[in-house]
Structures are given as structure tokens and as C-alpha cells.
Amino acid sequence: MAASSSSPLRFSVKRREPQLIVPSKPTPHEIKQLSDIDDQQGLRFHFPFVMFYRSHPAMKRKDPVKVIKEALGKALVFYYPFAGRIIEGPRSKLLVDCTGEGILFVEADAGVTIDQLGDSIHPPFSYIEEFLHDVPGSSGILGCPLLLIQVTRLACGGFIFAIRLNHTMSDSLGLSKFLNTVGEVALGASTPSLLPVWEREILNARNPPRVTCVHREYEQLTHTEASIVMTLQEHEKDMAHRSFFFGPSELKSIRKHIPPHLQKCSNFEDVVRLSVVINVRGKQGLKVPIGYYGNAFAYPTAISKAGLLCQSPLGYALELVTRLQTQMNEEYIKSVADLMVLKGRPHYRTVWSFLIADATRVGLGDIDFGWGKAVYGGLIGARPCASYHHWYNYCWEFSFIQAPTFASEPLDKNNNYCQCSWKTCDVKLSLVLNETTGFVGSGRHWIGKRDGKKDSTARA
């Protein structure tokens, strides 16, 4: 039985026993090496996504579970490494043992409609545990299925497709390529319009490895900062998770606070403060094949003294982040790969750090299994100290963790106010979040507000 403290909606979900879906034809049994970008410590986790689909008149007699299961088996013939298992080699190097064991699949039915779910069809999802069941023993990095999928039929004839990805295998763009193939096969294609490319050696370290760029995102922690990591993990469950929406008028208002030479920036990531996930596909000097489905990104980091950031106009923060985009080239990503090998594949910094990623071009909402495009397709929400933004009903959605109880100013009993600080290296980045007035930033940049019941559209 699903219920939410903020909603009276109640419904039941009936799940069948999990099963393994294997490639529909024999595939090579071999061991493939992940790249030195893939197997870094910061990507050794499972990443969940979800897509919501309405019923379609032409598909009334079709069962989405059957259609998708069959298409998955056929798609795995081309993406057969997904049907294998991760193993660890010397010096913590991860490899894929292409055993053909299959991916984990759960079939379910829910007594609820798309319309009844209403506002919960955007991050943070109130009922995600119902629609993506964590099958016991499936969430490890080594020796576990690389994909967990649950397809839940809804009472209205629509369905929910939820998937959890072992992040060492792919990034969100790589996953989208696989799911697009599943959709094409479901629609009758015998081969993908875009064939997958492995070639993980493209993003391996050089021989000999040599770190040629400054990588503040991987700088070592001090003893004090290491203790903060433990505090962050202990209080992760106490963080509040909210979504903020930005349409054309809101973005126009924000740009009024930006210097003229920066007002043409089109990505919302340009106004964030610290680490920015930047896709390396298509970057000058890097010949990453279009069918490449491994992790192909880095997160260069801007740093600023807290006082300077808070006292400066919005354009100052934007200028810092804009500079990061110019750093991303072949030399930078190769330097990251070299650092992984030389430094033992370190985790990126999370202490007093904030990371943001632009997911607007991932394309999960465009995946069509025969029922048309998804009502929503994308991430289920943010992660501690990380935020993602993407399209939802033609508005920007900005969802993030925003209320850790260990902040310098604790939440009051009405959950109205907090002050959070993020730190990279020895330089602090402070954001004062006042949910009552809607201020986010230095106390002058109003980019979000919500009432006591749900998130509201930001205004200027």
C-alpha cells in the first residue's frame, strides 16, 4: 500500500517475482575492460530513472510488459555487455564479464491512474519505491545485474517504466541510446538505427599517464573534511528535496541580473556555483563515436571565497562557471583518466561541494515503446550535494537537496529556513536558502519559492 504524508492518495501495487531477461540470440562470452573514466569511485553506484506513459488508442490490446520484455531481449543482442556482470581486476580496475546472465525485470500492476498521480509525476517522486522495487541482493556493483527494470501497468491503461543503471557501465546519454534501441525494436525494427560502440579505450589513461591539468574536483580531503563526510552520510535522510520550475518569463527575469555579454547563455547550468558535469562528446580533439554508450563526461570545478560570492552580483558566479566550459577538451579528459590511474581512482569531492548537471538533452522523455512519448522521462531526483535540471512540460525543472539538518542554521519546526555551506578545497561557497521569502543565493537573487503544500513556480 502506497501513501504519502503530503497526499491522501492511496493505492496498491502488486509485483510478480523478479526474472532475468537474457539476449534473444547467442552473444559473445568475453571480458571487456571499462574505461578509466567509467570505473572511478564516484561512479560506483546505481542510478535510477523513470518514465510515465499514458494509454494509446492504437495499443489497447497490447500489453506493455510483454512488448517491452520482448524488445529488451532483442536489444540486448546488440548491447550484450549489459547482460553481463562487473568484476574487479588488478589495481581496482573494473571489467565486464559478458556472461549473458541477463538483466533483472519486475512486472507489476498498480491500482492508480496517471491523472491521480498528478503532481507526483516530477521529482521528487513520492511513490518511487513502489514503481522501482529494490530487489534484495541486486544493488551491488560487483556480480549483480547491471540493469534493474520495473514496468508497472496502471488502471488507466498507461504504464510506468522505471530503470536502475549501474553507473560504471554508462552515463544517462548512453542509457538513452540503449532504451532508444529498445523502443525501435518494440516498434518493429530488426536492427538499431544507431549501432552501439564499445571502444572504451578511447577514454583510457595515456602511456605513461601524466596529469597536465588542475583537477580541484579530486583534491584530497583534510582530516576535518573527512569527518564531515561521515556527518553528511549520517544525516542524508534528514535532507529535504524540492523542485523549482522555470519557464521563459522566469529565465528572462533572471537574465536581468546578468551582465549583457553573458545574457545569451542558454543553459541553466550557467548560473550555478561549483562543479558542472560537462559532456565530452563532440568536443574538439576528442573523437568519441556517436554510438559510444560509456561514461563520457567530467566535472571541472570553479572555486570562490564565500564572502566574495555572496557580495557579488549573479554575473560573478555565472562568469566562474562559464570559464569551466572552455576547459573541457581532449587534454582535460585525458588528464582526468591519467589521474584515475595514478591516484587509485579517487572519488570526486563531496564535502562542502555542490555539483550540477544539465539533463535537458538526455532524451529519455522521447523514448517510444509504441505508446508515444513519455509524459515525463528522466531522473527521479537529486543526490546529496548534487542537482539535475531538465525539461518538464516546457519549463525548466531544478530539483535538489536543500535542507540538511547539520547546516549552520537548522530548520525550524515548520521546515521553513536553512543555511547551507558547500566547500571545495579551502574555499567556501555559501547559499542562504529562505523558503518563506523565496530567496536563493546571496539574499538578493530570488529564483524559487514554494508554499507549505507543494513547489511553486519561481518568479522575479
Grid coordinates of 138 = 541486486
User: Is position 56 annotated as part of the catalytic site?
Assistant: no
Question: Strand pairing of 297-298 and 241-246?
Answer: unpaired
CA–CA gap between residue 258 and residue 312 (Å, rounded): 11
Grid coordinates of 74 = 532483442
CA–CA gap between residue 73 and residue 149 (Å, rounded): 13
Q: Is the C-alpha dihedral spanning 281, 269, 339, 93 positive or negative?
A: negative
Q: Which residues does residue 420 pair with via DSSP β-bridges, in sequence order?
A: 431
| Longest CA–CA separation in the chain, Å | 62
Query: Which stretches does DSSP call E strand in 193-274?
Result: 241-246
**Closest listed residue to residue 177, CA positions, set 292, 51, 76, 24:** 292
**Closest listed residue to residue 83, CA positions, set 75, 93, 91:** 75
Q: Where are the alpha helices (DSSP H) in 256-375?
A: 306-311, 314-327, 330-343
User: Following DSSP, what letter does each residue of 337-396 receive, concatenated?
Assistant: HHHHHHHTSPPPP-TT--EEEE-TTS-GGG--SSS-S-SEEEES--BTTEEEEEEETTEE
Of the candidates 97, 109, 366, 368, the residue annotated as catalytic is 368
User: Is position 46 annotated as part of the catalytic site?
Assistant: no
CA–CA gap between residue 16 and residue 361 (Å, rounded): 34
* Burial group, residue 283, by CB count within 10 angstroms (0-12, 13-18, 19+): middle
Residues listed for the chain: 460
Grid coordinates of 331 = 587534454
**Cis link prior to 124 (omega < 30° from 0)?**
yes
User: Following DSSP, what letter does each residue of 430-455 receive, concatenated?
Assistant: EEEEETTTTEEESSS-B--EE-SSSE
Q: Residue 378, SS3?
A: strand
Question: Strand pairing of 103-110 and 147-154?
Answer: parallel
CA–CA gap between residue 343 and residue 33 (Å, rounded): 19
Of the candidates 122, 167, 215, 390, the residue annotated as catalytic is 167
User: What region, left, alpha or beta, does residue 411 occupy, with left being phi > 0 and alpha being psi -120 to 50 degrees?
Assistant: beta
Residues with catalytic function = 167, 368
